Amino acid sequence: MPVKNPVKYSASEQKVLCLLKTKPQTSTAICRQFYSPTSPPFYGQQIIVSLLSSLMRKAKINREKKFKILKTKRMGPKPISYWYGK
């Protein structure tokens, strides 16, 4: 059943979604691509991780059937991998 008032995705969330459609990537790689051609800010990776969490939460609220963002579990200092699923 479609949601009556879907939550809209921000421009940043749409950009990250386009980056994920190509192949599975780590949060570090997504951060570098998102902020290219300039270098990412000091806390850029944390910003990207929270942006991806927000995107996953909005997709769940909207009951998206076109896509699903999947991720690996957090494993200490290793970056989290994200990918586009259906």
Number of domains in the chain: 1
Q: Indicate whether 2 belongs to any domain.
A: no
Q: Indicate whether 1 belongs to any domain.
A: no
Which domain, by its residues, includes 33?
11-85
d(CA 71, CA 56): 10
Q: Indicate whether 4 belongs to any domain.
A: no
Q: What is the DSSP letter of 71?
A: E
pLDDT at 1 over 70: no
Mean predicted confidence (pLDDT) in 55-70: 90
Q: Indicate whether 31 belongs to any domain.
A: yes
Beginning with the edge strand found earlier in the chain, give each strand of the sheet holding 25-26 in spatial order: 25-26, 81-85, 68-71
Bridge partners of 84, per DSSP, are: 69
Interaxial angle between packed helices 11-20 and 27-35, expressed in degrees from 0 to 180 and rounded to the nearest 10? 120
CATH for 74: 1.10.10
If DSSP codes are grouped into helix, strand and coil, which group holds residue 83? strand
Q: What is the pLDDT of residues 29-55, one digit of tens each?
A: 999 999 999 999 999 999 999 999 999
Q: Indicate whether 3 belongs to any domain.
A: no
